[in-house]
Structure 1
Amino acid sequence: MQDWYTRAVRLRSEVFTGTPYAHVSPMQWQIDPASLRGIAHDRGYVEIPSMFQGCLSFQFAPRQFSQPPAFDGPDRPDKDRERWLLNHLSGSDRVWISLKHANLSARRVAEVAGSEGLRVAADFSDRNDRILLLSRDPSAPWLPLPAPVGVRFRYAWLNYIAPVTVFLLLAIAAMIVGAPDQFENPVSSLLFLAAFIGAIPAAFTTSLFPRTARVGWLAREFDGSQHVEFALRSYQISPELVTQIAGYHGYVLYAQTATQAGGPILKFSKRV
């Protein structure tokens, strides 16, 4: 049984996608009509007389709403950022770019990418960022993706590897320093304390990396595995963008859980 949050996210990413009409059964989705109307309104849909029994019907009419403009970066020449983008694209066949991080408009990113032989293959956005996939082959991926062969490194693992490494190194150093005088050396005590304290920020290692890098790592999660799950804090990308990127790779959100230490966890399954 999916929770309300999961069903609402799926409605936004799978039903209210900009198609001319959308028909939703409150009973099937287990979401009350008032909430359904609110979600539809947020996605630019107006309610129309029901076309099917037991369903609410909506028509896409974004011009009837005062929608906030889509996120875009500054559309002005910026040699430093364009040089950064060129360096980032150099020699690559497929690159994910966050406009928020690039600090360039989608138009300028497309122009710079075009000079390197890359084109915009996908475009995802929310109110705070816009993600572009630049590729030499802009065609959509063949779905479903084939299952991966062997074990593939997941960058989310850094948030587990780093704190363990920090703790072990500082704890070992504390034992080496404190062993000669039976751990009465104050430096040894400080190292033990640092081992516990240092492990906490190390659990957020991936957040230290640029947003563009994190978006690319996030996209790698959808590698053809039957099920994919990760904590939102691993990549710090909004659920709306995550579900759009997941959908591009043929995945649907089926559950959302949370832990006290790790926060919200999104779970996806491959659409067959």
Structure 2
Amino acid sequence: MDLSILGSGDFMHDWYVRTIRLRFQVFTGTPYAHVSPMEWRIDPESLRGIARSRGYLEIAPMFQGCLSFQYAPQYVPPVPVFDGPDRPDKDRERWLLNRLSGSDQVWISLKHANLSARRVAEVAEAEGLRVAADFGDPTDRVLLLSRNPAPPRLPLPTPNGLRFRYAWLNYIAPVTVLALLGASAVIVGSPSDYEAPIVNLLFLATFVSAVPAAFITGLFPRTTRVGWLAREFDGSLHVEFAMRSYRLPADLVVQIAAYHGYVFYGQSATQAGGPSLKFYKRV
């Protein structure tokens, strides 16, 4: 592709996609990684920096036109991931027990839980759940706790029929607000003009309330949003959603997607909806 035909915004989005894919789809902890700077269109120094952040040490090139790396976290410590406080906390552990009670599978955000991964694993094990997956970045760490910690069989089967997506709440909520408050304003103002100030207030409340309603999913706790996000990867061939829907770092989203057999391939953005991430199912 001729980069000269791309706008600066498109180029930055493309670069952003490629760097995330490198971090979480190439430098995954495998013993060796070989990357062509020309093929990935990333300058060698940036590429080396990404490798170091993932615990890889550069070695002599093993293939022409490639940079070669060996996974050596003992020599090149990767950027540490987030972890919560590693101390007993009865209130937070009680909250965790309530989340786990009667569940076969639960996603937990350590940033929201305010507990360390070790403490979460200990509490979960007492309830018969074990850590099935562990994803992290410097801002948060997400654990999947399950009674059956085996990874999912990939590729996931394609779902039958339409499934509810929690991202839809950001569209359903403002429409509901507009409908309810708009109808109330019409009903109150229908007998006469005497209630005109009330009608005006209702119409004003309608438009003022519709804006925050478009971000309603962000009002839910982080752990809840992580679970909703994981449900997006339900076996559909293509998955796309706005980042505002779940308000989680793209690095974490890409890792959760990969666990379900999805590859991050693009990003788009609109003035109204903001950036969206795109994934396809690996078959």
TM-score normalised by L of structure 1: 0.95
Find the aligned partners of 1:200 and 1:183 in 2 and give their Cα distance: 29
In structure 1, the partner of 2:52 is 41
Q: Which runs of 5+ in 1 are unaligned?
A: none
Mapping of residues 60-209 of structure 1, within 5 Å: 60-65=71-76, 67-182=78-193, 185-209=196-220
Instruction: String of CA shifts for 1:213-237, please: whole Å, max 9, x gaps.
Output: 0000000000000000101110011
Matched, 1:255 2:269: no
Q: What is the percentage of aligned positions where both structures have the same residue?
A: 74
SS class of match (2:191):
helix
Give the match for residue 268 of structure 1.
Answer: 279
Structure 1 position 184, deviation (Å): 6.9
Query: How far has the Cα of 1:54 moved from its partner?
Result: 1.1
2:6 match: none
Question: Using the alignment, how far apart are the partners of 1:164 and 1:45 within structure 2?
Answer: 49
Instruction: Read off the aligned partner of 1:147 and give its amino acid letter.
Output: T
- Residue 56, structure 1, aligned to residue 104, structure 2: no
C-alpha distance after superposition, 1:84-139 (max 9, x if no partner):
11111111111101111111111111111111111100000010111000001101
CA distance in 2, matches of 1:8, 1:66: 19
Number of residue pairs the alignment of both structures matches: 272
Q: Larger deviation: 204-213 or 61-70?
A: 61-70
Q: Does 1:235 align with 2:246?
A: yes
1:35-83 per-residue CA deviation (whole Å, 9 max, x = no partner) reads: 2222222222232221101111122233444655331111111111111
Q: Distance in 2 between matches of 1:69 and 1:37?
A: 17
RMSD: 1.6
Q: Which amino acid aligns with 1:216?
A: G
Aligned counterpart for 1:4 among listed residues 3, 6, 15: 15
For residue 222 of structure 1, the aligned residue among 222, 228, 233 is 233
* Matches of 1:29 and 1:69, distance apart in 2: 25
